[in-house]
Amino acid sequence: MLLEVSNLNIHFPTNQKNTFVHAVRDLSFHLNQGEMLGVVGESGSGKSITNLALLGLLPNDTKITADKILFEENSLMKLSDRSWQKIRGSKISMIFQDPMTALNPFLTIEYQITEVLRTHLHLSKKDSFDRTIELLNLVGISSPKDRLKNYPFELSGGMAQRVMIAMSIATNPKLLIADEPTTALDVTIQKQILELLKSLQQKLNLSILLVTHDLGLVAQYSDRIQVMYAGEIVETGHTSDLITSPLHPYTKGLIESRPKGKSEKAKTQLYSIPGIVPSFSNRPQGCQFHPRCSNKINQCENAILMKEINHNHFSRCILSKSEKV
Amino acid sequence: MNIIKIQNLSKTYLIKKLFQSEKNLHALKNINFEIESGKTFGIVGESGCGKSTLAKVLTKLEEKTSGEVFFLEKPFESLSRQAFNESIQMVFQDPYQSLNPRKTAFQIVADPLVIQNKLSREEIHSKVEEMFTKVGLSKDFLSRYPHQFSGGQRQRIGIARALMLKPKILILDEPVSALDVSIQAQVLNLLIDIQKEFQLTYIFISHDLSVMAHMCDTIAVMYLGQIVELGTRDQIINDPIHPYTKMLMASTPDLFKKNQQTIDVLGEIPNPFEITKGCAFYSRCSLKTSQCASHDVFLQLKNNRRVACIMT
């Protein structure tokens, strides 16, 4: 197991003294070597905050508690800034949503990639140059030598995202966190970037945490899916299990509310989940989803734990039952 | 009856850069289509294909360079500003930027009527209240400011504002792409309902083919300022002909799609200045021949289908 997180809780301080908002609660998950885990959730579900916690990038006044956060058997809890620097960018790296704002507009592509190589791997000038060319080839940039002196504004969005990916895999990391890597890109480019990530996963035995709001994307590319809602994981399982027989009413709602495209007549009413995601400061008791759920019963207001319903298929709903006998 | 008819519409921007000669950017090239009253006409394409320019020309936010637009068989130019505003309105993509943060929801929705200056204050108030209930917002929200609403509620305010003058045509520029997945369905349902109730004609702009398939009667696929394929919803979704339409279909994420596609999704949209002759899609096409680079292509009617490709 490459990454193991158990009972991660993240609290942010508010403007009022000694009051905190509970942004992420009781998050437990794991990631195996060479696996792609898709994390799906709407805005405010805590998916980006979890990523930042895994990279040690949350502000200092954030309260982070967990039973364990193990990465390659080492704990990531309470590390010093110096030890974080050794992990961040070399063992765990990240691709951000908008490549145009994530790259430094004042520096060439060459400078930005070689900087990573020289800081983390202490390569010589020549070695880092050769490795940069190799990396750009690997991410599918044609004639990389001509591209080296380009500034980010000279690249298209898809190209810039390829450069970001080259930077993030430069140090042969074990874990790559891709936070909405294609949201700012066109659909045809989105497909190219995800196929690239998938091929890198297989070629380099890389573990990828693919974070997105689009269930269709993770359904197509990731091995396992984890659905988040209001700071909690509500369902997790293998992609085919979760898509074909979802257990949690929120996952069911997400799947049903997607336009079906081909298979359905135009302009039929879509299923829609009533209400909106509760705000951080106003979270309900018990099951986070129960105010929007059509099956709710009185017990839903008590705390609810993740339960294994079918083999390796977990749901945080007391009404979830196995259909297999 | 055709509510809108567009003939040979073109829009060219003159690009001036320091120390460089002026260049023409052809944002729209020879656009031809007509829209039947009460139907939804979808325009799909990637960034830079001209779909938003088309919306701007149709709302007179941009002047067209050449060509004709007819609204109910009258040329666009013959309509007065007021008559124009009463016939075409627009809903914008980002509900966070398209509402004035310093006005209350009431002021935002009432503004079109206040500007028209035809009704008394009481009449305006009752009309706004009525519209608020129609788009699914509570009357208690009238005095709230935009930041107090969620994304979906803001988009409902945007829709209410666009409907206040009882337009015939509503242009929807990516109306759900800024919303969360569970909220998208709510807004799409609302749009379907009010289309029936107000007998609206929609021009629906989006990059997402699955949303298009759900909403539209007719779909036009655009690439670099041209319509490359135009057909009924069933023709485009179930039986696309143009290689670009096929590429878009293959790229759209789908829950149950197997990961084996026969179509390669290659290349990126080229720099529009570099294309002088031939088919704009040439550089990314799998069917290309030497003829494609030398012959200009136009939307042509063949076997009851309109496609801009010489190979089909």
Paired tokens of B96: 């966070």
Please report where in the chains the tokens 């999704």 appear, as a residue. Answer: B265
Round to whole Å and give the CA distance between B114 and B124.
8
Length of chain B: 312
Residue B132 CB neighbour total at 10 angstroms: 21
Question: Average pLDDT of chain B?
Answer: 89
User: A207-212 and A224-229 as β-strands: parallel, antiparallel, unpaired?
Assistant: unpaired
- pLDDT for residue A131: 94
Using the Cβ of B86 and the Cβ atoms of chain A, whether some distance falls under 8 Å is answered with no
Nearest CA in chain A to B193: A269
Round to whole Å and give the CA distance between B42 and A167.
39
Partner-chain residue, chosen from A188, A264, A267, that has the shortest CB–CB distance to B192? A267
Q: Which residues of A293-304 are buried (b: 16+ CB within 10 A; e: fewer)?
A: beebeeebeeeb
- Quote the pTM value: 0.88
CB contact under 8 A, B181 and A213: yes
- pLDDT for residue B262: 62
Q: Return phi, psi of residue A228, to 5°.
A: -110, 145
Over the stretch B59-75, which tens digit does the pLDDT of each residue have?
A: 988 999 999 999 988 89
Cβ distance B6 to B33 under 8 Å? yes
Partner-chain residue, chosen from B195, B210, B257, that has the shortest CB–CB distance to A259? B210
In chain B, residues with a C-beta closer than 8 Å to the C-beta of A188 are: 46, 247-248, 251, 265, 268
Q: What is the DSSP letter of A185?
A: S
Amino acid letter for position B284: R
Go through the domains of chain B in sequence order and give each one's CATH number: 2-307 (3.40.50.300)
Please report where in the chains the tokens 């496609």 appear, as a residue. Answer: B307
Strand partners, B294: none
Collect contacts of A18-23 with beta carbons under 8 A, ≥24 apart: A20/A63, A21/A280, A21/A281, A22/A231, A22/A280, A22/A283, A23/A49, A23/A231, A23/A280
- Best to test chain B binding among A272, A282, A288 (most B CBs inside 10 Å): A272
Residues 6+ apart with CB under 8 A from A292: A250, A273, A274, A275
Over the stretch B266-286, which tens digit does the pLDDT of each residue have?
A: 888 888 887 768 888 888 888
Over the stretch A56-91, which tens digit does the pLDDT of each residue have?
A: 999 888 999 999 999 999 999 888 989 999 899 889
Confidence of residue B256 (pLDDT cuts 50, 70, 90): confident
ipTM of the modeled complex: 0.84
- pLDDT for residue A324: 59
Note down pLDDT in tens along chain A; length 325 residues.
899 999 999 999 988 888 888 899 899 999 999 999 999 988 888 888 999 999 999 988 899 999 999 999 999 988 898 999 989 988 999 998 888 889 999 999 999 999 999 999 999 999 999 999 999 999 988 888 889 999 999 988 889 999 999 999 999 999 999 999 988 888 889 999 999 999 999 999 999 999 998 898 999 999 999 999 999 999 999 999 999 999 999 999 999 988 877 777 778 888 888 888 888 778 888 899 999 998 889 889 988 889 999 999 999 999 888 775 5
Over the stretch A248-278, which tens digit does the pLDDT of each residue have?
A: 999 999 999 888 777 777 788 888 888 888 8
- Best to test chain B binding among A186, A202, A277, A294 (most B CBs inside 10 Å): A186
Where helices occur in chain B by DSSP H, the ranges are 51-58, 81-87, 105-116, 121-134, 151-163, 181-198, 209-215, 233-238, 243-251, 290-294
In chain B, residues with a C-beta closer than 8 Å to the C-beta of A259 are: 188, 210-211, 213-215
Using the Cβ of B197 and the Cβ atoms of chain A, whether some distance falls under 8 Å is answered with no
Round to whole Å and give the CA distance between A258 and A260.
6
CB contact under 8 A, A188 and B181: no
Q: How many DSSP H helices and E strands does chain B contain?
A: 10, 12
